[in-house]
Amino acid sequence: MLALHAVTLRLWLDVTAPALVTCEDPPQEGRVLIMPGQITFAELLRSPLHTRLPVLYTTPCTVATVASTVTANTCIMTSQSRSFTLSLHFLVLFFCSLTYLDTWKQMEECVRLGLTKSVGVSNFNSKQLARLLEVAKIKPVTNQIECHAYLNQKKLIQFCKEKDIVITAYSPLANPSMKMPEGEVPLMQNPKMKELADKYGKSIAQVLLRYLIQIGTVPIPKSVHKERIKENFNVFDFELNAEDLACIDTFNKNYRVCAFNETKAAIHYPFYEEF
């Protein structure tokens, strides 16, 4: 599945020792800065390197965003080559004046050509979604957003539900190491959560994941530990009662783990809106 992010700034290509290239004035539209040298993305794809090109569309960037500045064919080549490995190691900065509506058209083309079954968005607020839905021929199947008990996104969840768009909840357990305001504790250390976990005979993580499921999202917890991965799946044999759901609702403080502060000047920065 291809996913379009609201904040489109950076693209990594097999980064192991990234070198950041910056400049005072953005290069011409449709070009990227690479280390070493500078070529268009299309030129890179036409070169022998393109057969080993993985465009790793890691947050906050997408394959299609770059592709849409060239041609639909570029998008197709990018999609087809995403599973390969590029031997060079560099960081690409991409500058473009096109909007996410232009990018979405190219993602729809990928669906039409059978290169992907589904397309979705990430970090879109309600106004951005409404604007996209006005012109989209294919509706996004999901909006992937940060969602946890400290940022429960109830209004955006309801908006997407009315549009038949699934909410995928990333960072569902927040971040145990995130900097908290004075007097506050990380979500996983909240004493009330410990009480609820003991009540249901589950871990705090399981209760938090169950909460997100019951409020209508698809949480995607991240772990590299086998036992925790198994534990995260074991959340379908119990249900939080209405009183406990309401209790966790009160935890909402609009705390963001991923605020993308470095992109606040971007014209499409999504988090200035209420939801």
Question: Each residue of 218-256: b (16+ CB within 10 Å) or e?
Answer: ebebeeeeeeeeebbeebeeeebeeebeebbeebeeebb
Question: Is the entire prediction scored with pTM above 0.85?
Answer: no
pLDDT at 3: 62
Question: Residues 136-147: pLDDT tens digits?
Answer: 999 999 999 999
The answer to whether position 14 is within a domain reads yes
Quote the crossing angle between the two packed helices 191-200 and 204-214, to the nearest 10°.
90
As a whole number of angstroms, the distance between CA 73 and CA 69 comes to 11
Question: Residues 248-267: pLDDT tens digits?
Answer: 999 999 999 999 887 888 78
Residues 148, 251 share a domain: yes
The answer to whether position 47 is within a domain reads yes
As a whole number of angstroms, the distance between CA 122 and CA 143 comes to 5
Residues 258, 158 share a domain: yes
Residues 92, 149 share a domain: no
The answer to whether position 59 is within a domain reads yes
- Mean per-residue pLDDT over the chain, rounded: 74
Question: Residues 153-169: pLDDT tens digits?
Answer: 999 999 999 999 999 99
Q: What radius of gyration do the chain's Cα atoms show?
A: 20
pLDDT at 5: 61
The answer to whether position 200 is within a domain reads yes
Our separate counts of H helices and E strands in the chain read 10, 8
Residues 189, 77 share a domain: no
pLDDT at 181: 85
Domain that includes residue 145, residue range: 141-270
pLDDT at 182: 85
Classify 241 as helix, strand or coil: coil
More confident: 181 or 167: 167
pLDDT at 71: 33
Share of the chain above pLDDT 70, in %: 64
CB 157 within 8 A of CB 167: yes
Question: Residues 220-239: pLDDT tens digits?
Answer: 999 999 999 999 999 999 99
Give me the residues paired with residue 142 across strands: 166
Number of domains in the chain: 2
The answer to whether position 92 is within a domain reads yes
- What CATH number is given to the structural domain containing 170? 3.20.20.100
With cut-offs at 50, 70 and 90, classify the pLDDT of residue 97: low
Question: Residues 7-61: pLDDT tens digits?
Answer: 433 333 322 223 333 333 333 433 333 333 344 444 544 544 433 333 332 223 3
